[in-house]
Amino acid sequence: MAEIDALPFTFAFRPQTMALIVIDMQRDFAEPGGFGASLGNDVSRVTAIVPTVKRLIEGFRAAGLPVIHTMECHRPDLSDLPPAKRDRGNPSIRIGDAGPMGRVLIAGEPGTAILDELAPLPGEIVIEKPGKGAFYATGLSDDLKRIGARQLVFAGVTTEVCVQTTMREANDRGYECLVAEDATESYFPEFKAAALAMIRAQGAIVGWTATTDQVLEGIA
Ligand code: TIU
């Protein structure tokens, strides 16, 4: 077993069964005029982690380990968008409406795209997800089984919404999960701190946390 120096204690893993999941590093969450901004958020915190997420992705690629990307998005006909989600948050622009970067959170629109610096390479798995969790209504479970992944490292946004939801889904499905603390971000620093604390509390009840440097050292 290889190891990552992590909290609340060492994260042990088999390199052959490790994968990185990068959650929703999309223009819609990182750029002014997108969905995140439409909910009233300052998106600059998300932009700030892009170089760290890039370093993590490149470390996994260099180690020959799988990188999986997710995108929160909906079908153009909105058939996978419950009204309860569309109406939530009293946003200035709703999901599906035309915004400065195309229709908000709709598959194929410019704003829905993953940031250029973090773009998936050909052959990497890209999960389009209609929910906050990446397992709901997607093929992620099948993909993880197909590639034989058992331990998952998480990065992306936002820590307490899509990252934590997906980690909880993964935890219940038997995966061991670790989130890279400095490669995830929230619009609310206090929510990020609380999410990381609740993930690793009670003996890693949801998972482990470690810095990107610690993860890269462990997988090198
Ligand atoms: N609003 C917010 O914090 N997050 C989301 O809506 N989606 C993700 O976290 N990806």
Return the pLDDT at 36. 92
Ligand 1 contacts (CB < 6 A) are 24, 29, 39, 72, 132, 157-158, 161-162, 187
- Mean pLDDT, the chain, rounded, equals 96
Mutational pocket test of ligand 1: of 87, 132, 169, the residue with most ligand atoms within 8 Å of the beta carbon: 132
Determine what percent of the chain is predicted with pLDDT higher than 90.
93
Return the pLDDT at 80. 98
What pTM value is reported for the model? 0.98
Q: Which of 28, 73, 132, 162 is catalytic?
A: 162
Catalytic site residue 129? yes
The answer to whether residues 169 and 161 touch, using CB atoms and an 8 Å cutoff, is no
Asked if the model's pLDDT at residue 92 lies above 90, the reply is no
Asked if the model's pLDDT at residue 143 lies above 90, the reply is yes
Q: In angstroms, what is the span from residue 2 Cα to ligand 1's centroid?
A: 32
Closest-CA residue, ligand 1 atom 8, reads 162
Catalytic site residue 177? no
Could you report the per-residue pLDDT of 163-196, keeping only the tens digit for each?
Answer: 999 999 999 999 999 999 999 999 999 999 999 9
Token digits for 153? Answer: 């490292």
Q: In angstroms, what is the span from residue 158 Cα to ligand 1's centroid?
A: 5
> Distance between CA atoms of 69 and 108, rounded to whole angstroms?
15
Locate the ligand 1 atom nearest the alpha carbon of residue 72 and give its number: 10
Q: In angstroms, what is the span from residue 29 Cα to ligand 1's centroid?
A: 7
Return the pLDDT at 194. 98
Cross-strand partners of 157? 185
Token digits for 3? Answer: 């190891």
Q: Which of 24, 73, 132, 192 is catalytic?
A: 24
Mutational pocket test of ligand 1: of 21, 22, 23, 24, the residue with most ligand atoms within 8 Å of the beta carbon: 24
Please, which pLDDT band fits residue 213 given cuts at 50, 70 and 90?
very high
Please, which pLDDT band fits residue 38 given cuts at 50, 70 and 90?
confident
ipTM over the 0.90 cut-off: yes
The reply to whether omega before 82 is within 30° of 0 (cis) is no
What are phi and psi for residue 22, nearest 5 degrees?
Answer: -100, 115
Q: In angstroms, what is the span from residue 3 Cα to ligand 1's centroid?
A: 31
Return the pLDDT at 72. 98
Asked if the model's pLDDT at residue 89 lies above 70, the reply is yes
Return the pLDDT at 39. 87
Q: State the distance between the two ends of the chain, measured CA to CA, in whole angstroms.
A: 13
**Which segment of 36-50, 52-66, 71-85, 86-100 scores lowest on mean pLDDT?**
86-100
Catalytic site residue 85? no
Closest-CA residue, ligand 1 atom 1, reads 36
Could you report the per-residue pLDDT of 54-82, keeping only the tens digit for each?
Answer: 999 999 999 999 999 999 999 999 999 99
Q: What is the mean pLDDT of residues 3-15?
A: 98
Q: What is the mean pLDDT of residues 213-217?
A: 98
| Distances, alpha carbon 151 to alpha carbons 13, 89, 134, 157, in Å | 7, 34, 16, 19
Asked if the model's pLDDT at residue 91 lies above 80, the reply is no
The radius of gyration of the chain's CA atoms, rounded to the nearest angstrom, is 16
